[in-house]
Amino acid sequence: MTTITHLECAACGKRHEAGQLHNLCECGGPLLVRYDLDKLREGWSREWIPSGPTSMWRYAPVLPVSKPAAMISLGEGMTPLVHTKRLGARIGSEDLWVKDEGVNPTGSFKARGLSCAVSMCVELGVKKVAIPSAGNAAGAMAAYAAAAGIEAHIFMPRDVPQANYIECRAAGAHVTLVDGLISDCAKMVASRKDQEGWFDVSTLKEPYRIEGKKTMGYEVAEQFRWQLPDAIFYPCGGGVGLIGMWKAFAEMEALGWISSKRPKMIAVQAEGCAPIVKAFEEGKPRSEFFEHAETIASGLRVPKALGDFLVLDAVRQSAGTCIAVSDEEMIEAAVELATDEGIFAAPEGGACVAALNKLLASGFLTPQERIVIYNTGSGLKYLEAYSPRFPR
């Protein structure tokens, strides 16, 4: 199936062997999976893709799982790309689309990354996994670990949305609620994983979640008949989805499937937690820890992302931008999206609609450009965030 050749550190470039368990490089950088794309180009055609599974596994040759029996799938991927004409007409965008990741198993895009990561855990013989999460990644890992028969240990902030806590418990995961942020949860996993025998599945601290998430890039290309849009809005907590799509575009160009044209990559954050926006505005290659992070969008409450330098690289190389919106703006925009189009988005998706409003108003984007907003989760998982807007 796969044509994986090795793993490569995104920071220092050091090569690491495939087929072994890895977390970070010795330098602390995240590892990226590399494939023999020249060989793959000779034996795999984009015309064959529609005959594959109706899931992200239609792109199996550029995914790391080599043993089909190890593949743990709940049908993730191939999510709808919806032409949002009514919303577009109201805000002045003539070619506006929403890629709705809320219809994935477990209700968010995290299903993609955890399907791939847990499949690799099965392939490499891992029996116990641990993850710090702001919510949706925990729910996805609990589900895929349950499907794989692997023991799951989850650390989440105590104020995580109730849906995330309940789905983890229902799937049989061991859940620890932490008084603090995802960064505090990560410290607990790091301090205990060796003595407990856990494999750490933290964002970018293993190489395979990004591989599942990059399929969002393959799908948008396929759904637009291998023509990428002019701009992509992506809500950025850890930023792995954006990093993954940027990687996917490079792979597809090497395969001869797309041209060198790239969308403007637009990273959207919350005003109450905007470390990447701050770094972008200050011209810095990496962000600094964002003190007192607070936002209603739990997926955006990441005060320091391990892959921030990769997000900033992609944004700058694409002539994109980073932008923050308020909690009030994202909830209002999400309600407008639901009212106009029937898509009940997570606050993170609403943040992208609010950001688009700002960038159209400023002239950064024009009404004629083809724009894709990624809604990363279902609004049904964030009822506490919406309930003040609709009191009973």
pTM above 0.75, yes or no: yes
DSSP 247: H
Say if residues 280 and 322 touch (Cβ distance below 8 Å): yes
Identify each DSSP E strand in the chain by its residue range.
4-9, 15-16, 31-35, 81-83, 95-100, 128-132, 151-157, 174-178, 199-200, 231-235, 264-270, 321-325, 370-375
- Of the candidates 378, 191, 205, the one whose C-alpha atom is nearest the C-alpha of residue 299 is 378
Give the right CATH number for 81-108+209-389 from 3.40.50.1100, 3.40.50.970, 1.20.120.1810, 2.115.10.20. 3.40.50.1100
User: What per-residue confidence (pLDDT) applies to 1?
Assistant: 64
| CB 297, CB 129: distance < 8 Å | no
Q: Mean pLDDT, consecutive 10-residue segments, the chain of 392 residues?
A: 90 95 95 96 94 96 95 98 98 98 97 98 97 92 98 94 95 96 91 94 94 98 98 96 98 98 98 98 97 93 94 98 98 98 98 98 98 98 95 92
Structure tokens at 268: 């959207």
pLDDT at res. 183: 87
Instruction: List beta partners, residue 268.
Output: 235, 323
Residue 195: phi and psi, rounded to 5, are -70, -30
Q: What is the DSSP string of 79-120?
A: --EEE-HHHHHHHT-TEEEEEEGGGSGGGBTHHHHHHHHHHH
pLDDT reported for residue 181: 86
**Do residues 241 and 382 touch, judged by C-beta distance below 8 A?**
no
Query: Are the C-beta atoms of 306 and 251 separated by less than 8 Å?
Result: no
Structure tokens at 31: 């590892």
